Amino acid sequence: MSRPLVQFLPWIATGSLMALAWVGWKLRQAWEGLRAAQRAAQLERALREFGDLMRDADQPEVHVHELLQALAGNTGFATAALLRPSPGAQDIVVGEPDANALAGLQLCADSGRALGPGTHHHAEEPDLYLPLRGRDAALGAVTLRGLGTQALPPDHLAHAQALCDQMGLALQRRRVQDEARLAGELAETQSTRNAMLAAISHDYRTPLATIMGSASALQTQGDRLTATQRSELAGRIVDETARLVRLTDNTLQLARLGAPGVALRCDWESAEEIVGAALRRVRRRPDGERVKARIEPGLPLLWCDAALMSQLLDNLVDNALKYSPATAPVELVVRRLGGEALFAVRDRGPGIDPAWRDRVFDAFQRGDLAAFAQRPPGSGVGLALCRAIAQAHEGSLSLRPRGHGGCSFELRLPLRDAPELPEAQA
């Protein structure tokens, strides 16, 4: 080898080493960039999956364990959470935070900002606290315990806060939905109350005027009235009082069944006794003989509230008598239909227009009664109560038009297996 070439060998070796170092540095940069991209993709995927879970969650608070698991898996630190799903309710604590951690969670939720290492607030604290931020307030907080003076990498901290914000937004959406539902229920209750008061005040006026007029006539002119006239006035008082009692009972029962958590007084009852109780009341009416009952023999016992069931049949029969011709019969049929007991009250009245067949079960709706020369009295509460009673028994009440005119109101009650009676001991 020539002497001049030997002189350049150190420089060539040095250049080669520098080139290799540069290539290694570039490879290391590329590898770190690839790992960072993979980590970012993993965090983005986890955030997207948790966001999908929160978007479809009707009760986001039940998924707080998934949030804590995601935070612990990405950071390696123990976690705990405090939730405030509804205003004024008691805080929900998940995990086992000590007194200091619980105070930090409450402070973080109250302030709505992150606390602890890597933040601008209480950075000297050994634990990290992240708020569950909604749109206008924090609805809780989580803590990552044991960081000490170590702060999370910026991307991990941003990812953890993004997960918490997903939970906070879901909790706020649930809160807004609950508030809207409560507002709707309050508006509906107020509307129902107003309609009920209007209907009662209107429908009470006529029978009260009749009772007052008849009683006043008996008091002031009793000596000048014949026995027939006095009996007629007394009969009016009895009939109108019965109307008031029926209206009051229906209205009170409808309000009771509309209350949350209502409990029925159910027992094993026979269809014959329920129908018999309804018929005994119907027979006291002048037109009660028009009602004919047919009960299929061998029907099993029914699990129901006998008083409510009797009131339901009483209302349906009263409705059929009121809206059918004075000479037309009314049928009360009870039979088994698969796994259900069918109670059908059938009349031969003018029927109901198809557009009104569902609305007649709404409170204070009475349908188009153009077929009647005079609108029969009533407030539209009876059929609404009947459907409420049916639904309270997990049954259904429907209206079916009859082929040759008239309506069939059909109640279907599910049949249950009655308990076996104990054998009589000898």
Q: What's the CATH code of the domain at 283?
A: 3.30.565.10
Bridge partners of residue 93, in order along the sequence: 82
Strands 138-145 vs 407-414: parallel, antiparallel or unpaired: unpaired
Identify the pLDDT of residue 420. 66
Confidence at residue 203, expressed as pLDDT on a 0 to 100 scale? 63
Structural tokens at position 107? 């402070």
At 55 the pLDDT is 73
Kindly state the DSSP code that residue 117 receives in the 8-state scheme. Answer: T
Q: Please report the pLDDT score of residue 171 as a whole number.
A: 87
pLDDT number for residue 326: 85
Torsion over CA of 169, 171, 173 and 175, rounded to 10 degrees?
-140
Q: What is the pLDDT of residue 369?
A: 44
Do residues 357 and 423 make contact, with C-beta atoms less than 8 angstroms apart?
A: no
Residue finishing a domain among 120, 155, 176: 176
In this prediction, residue 142 carries a pLDDT of 92
Beta bridge partners of 336: 341
Q: Mean pLDDT, to the nearest integer, of 206-228?
A: 86
Least confident of 14-23, 42-51, 105-114, 411-420: 42-51
What DSSP string describes 283-327? Answer: TTSTTGGGEEEEE-TTPPPEEE-HHHHHHHHHHHHHHHHHHS-TT
Residue 413 pLDDT greater than 90, yes or no: yes
Asked if 108 and 130 count as a contact pair (C-beta separation under 8 A), the reply is: yes
Whether residues 167 and 185 fall in one domain: no
Tokens of 367: 């349908």
368 versus 267: the higher-pLDDT residue is 267
In this structure, the answer to whether residues 153 and 203 fall within a common structural domain is: no
Average pLDDT in the 24-33 region? 68
Among 176, 210, 229, which residue terminates a domain? Answer: 176
Q: State the total domains in the chain.
A: 3
Higher pLDDT, 189 or 265: 265
312: closest CA among 384, 224, 363? 384
| Domain assignment of residue 35, yes or no | no
Percent of the chain's residues with pLDDT above 90: 17
pLDDT reported for residue 183: 86
Is 160's pLDDT higher than 70?
Answer: yes
Among 131, 148, 176, the domain-final residue is: 176
Same structural domain for residues 46 and 165? yes
- Residues spanned by the domain of 61: 40-176
- Say what the pLDDT of residue 6 is: 61
Cβ-based neighbours of 87, under 8 Å, separated by 6 or more: 175
Is there a single domain that holds both residue 238 and residue 224? yes
Would 126 be classed as within a structural domain? yes
User: Left (φ > 0), alpha (ψ -120 to 50) or beta: where does 365 sit?
Assistant: beta
User: Domain holding 236: CATH number?
Assistant: 1.10.287.130
pTM of the model: 0.50
The sheet carrying 396-401 orders its strands as: 291-295, 330-337, 340-346, 407-414, 396-401
Asked if the structure places residue 11 within a domain, the reply is no
Q: What is the pLDDT of residues 364-406, one digit of tens each?
A: 555 544 443 334 444 556 788 888 888 888 999 999 888 888 8
Other CB atoms within 10 A of residue 271 CB: 21
Residue 21 lies inside a defined structural domain of this protein:
no
* Closest alpha carbon to 315 in 237, 372, 260, 397: 397
Question: What digits encode the pLDDT tens for the residues 301-360?
Answer: 999 988 888 888 988 998 888 888 888 899 999 999 999 999 999 998 888 877 777 777
The residue-averaged pLDDT of 118-131 equals 87
Q: What average pLDDT does the segment 270-294 reach?
A: 87
168 and 185 part of one domain: no
pLDDT score at 47: 65
* pLDDT score recorded for residue 199: 59
Side chain identity at 386, as an amino acid letter?
C
Tell me: do 283 and 377 sit in the same domain: yes
What CATH number is associated with residue 167?
3.30.450.40
Q: Are residues 234 and 358 in the same domain?
A: no
> Residue 46: which pLDDT band, with cuts at 50, 70 and 90?
low
DSSP string of 142-153, one letter each residue: EEEE--TTPPPP
Q: Which has more confidence, 52 or 36?
A: 52
